[in-house]
Amino acid sequence: EAGVVQSPRYKIIEKKQPVAFWCNPISGHNTLYWYRQNLGQGPELLIRYENEEAVDDSQLPKDRFSAERLKGVDSTLKIQPAELGDSAVYLCASSPGLAATGELFFGEGSRLTVL
Amino acid sequence: GENVEQHPSTLSVQEGDSAVIKCTYSDSASNYFPWYKQELGKRPQLIIDIRSNVGEKKDQRIAVTLNKTAKHFSLHITETQPEDSAVYFCGPGDSWGKLQFGAGTQVVVTP
């Protein structure tokens, strides 16, 4: 069975440019997470979806970040415009439960470098 | 919000020795306590977890112990091997599915 798939794996852009990341969760997983991981730090939650509903976006910088999960499957995370401080690895994760605690299955991540 | 701290931030052990990492949290609503392992350049992966109705859980060379009163839980690795070298994250969670990760502990196992 395929795991969580993310693309692109690497992205280098200049500041003020837009960027988008895509995530395909494990089939049947209702809950999807976007995390940001800065170098030497733990993953920081940006947004959590249950099906197509964003149930926790309290830490998403809404002035420049947006996300969507149409049809409750794939998700995209967009940054516009990007800033130098956005350089990080963006991790997508999914889990089978709704509002349940259990294992998160992470993708390989999308490493963003903003110049 | 939840405040999560891990100690130590780095840990160097001789192969065959034991390693212990402690995670302290602040939210009394936390009831799920996992540990994730992240090898360099790889994705985080769950290695062991425990729920609040259990005090200890063991899986071969790794174990997790929980002290809910003191709001901390620990990861124990016995008979460490070079492949145990990685960054380990704790991530206490609540019933609504919110997990907050600690800053991580870099474990280096030297032969």
Span A82-99, pLDDT tens digits? 999 999 999 999 998 876
Taking an 8 Å cut-off on Cβ atoms, the answer to whether B99 and A101 are in contact is: yes
Query: Residues A7-17: pLDDT tens digits?
Result: 999 999 999 99
Query: Residues B36-61: pLDDT tens digits?
Result: 999 998 999 999 999 988 899 999 99
Which residues in A lie closer than 8 A to residue B4 (C-beta atoms)? 42
What's the whole-number average pLDDT of chain B? 94
- Does the CB of B57 have a partner CB in chain A at under 8 Å? no
Q: Which member of B31, B95, B101 has the closest CB to residue A43? A: B101
Task: Record the tokens describing residue B48, joined without a space.
Answer: 């062991």
Query: What mean pLDDT is predicted for residues A103-111?
Result: 96
Taking an 8 Å cut-off on Cβ atoms, the answer to whether A31 and B49 are in contact is: no
Q: Can you count the helices (H) and strands (E) in chain A?
A: 0, 11
Q: How far is B104 from chain A (nearest CA, A)?
A: 6
Residue entry with tokens 């405040």: B3
Residue entry with tokens 């009831």: B31
- Answer for the pair B82, B15: CB distance below 8 angstroms, yes or no: yes
Q: How far is A103 from chain B (nearest CA, A)?
A: 6
Q: Which stretches of chain A sit within 8 Å of chain B by CB?
A: 31, 35, 40-45, 48, 50, 55-56, 91, 95, 97-104, 106-109
Taking an 8 Å cut-off on Cβ atoms, the answer to whether B89 and A106 are in contact is: no
Which residues in B lie closer than 8 A to residue A102 (C-beta atoms)? 32, 49
Q: Report the pLDDT value the prediction gives residue B14, as an integer from 0 to 100.
A: 98
Query: Residues A25-54: pLDDT tens digits?
Result: 999 999 999 999 999 999 999 999 999 999
CA distances from A69 to A3, A47, A75, A76, B43 (A): 18, 11, 4, 7, 22
Q: Report the pLDDT value the prediction gives residue B1, as an integer from 0 to 100.
A: 66
Report the distance separating Cα B100 and Cα B21, nearest Å: 17
- What is the maximal distance between C-alpha atoms in chain A? 39
Q: For A103, name the nearest residue in chain B, comparing CA atoms only.
A: B46
Tell which residue, B35, B43, B90, B46, has the closest CA to residue A37.
B43
pLDDT classification of A100: cutoffs 50, 70, 90: low
Query: Residues B11-26: pLDDT tens digits?
Result: 999 999 999 999 999 9
Tell which residue, A17, A26, A35, has the closest CA to residue A96.
A26
Amino acid, single-letter form, for residue B83: E
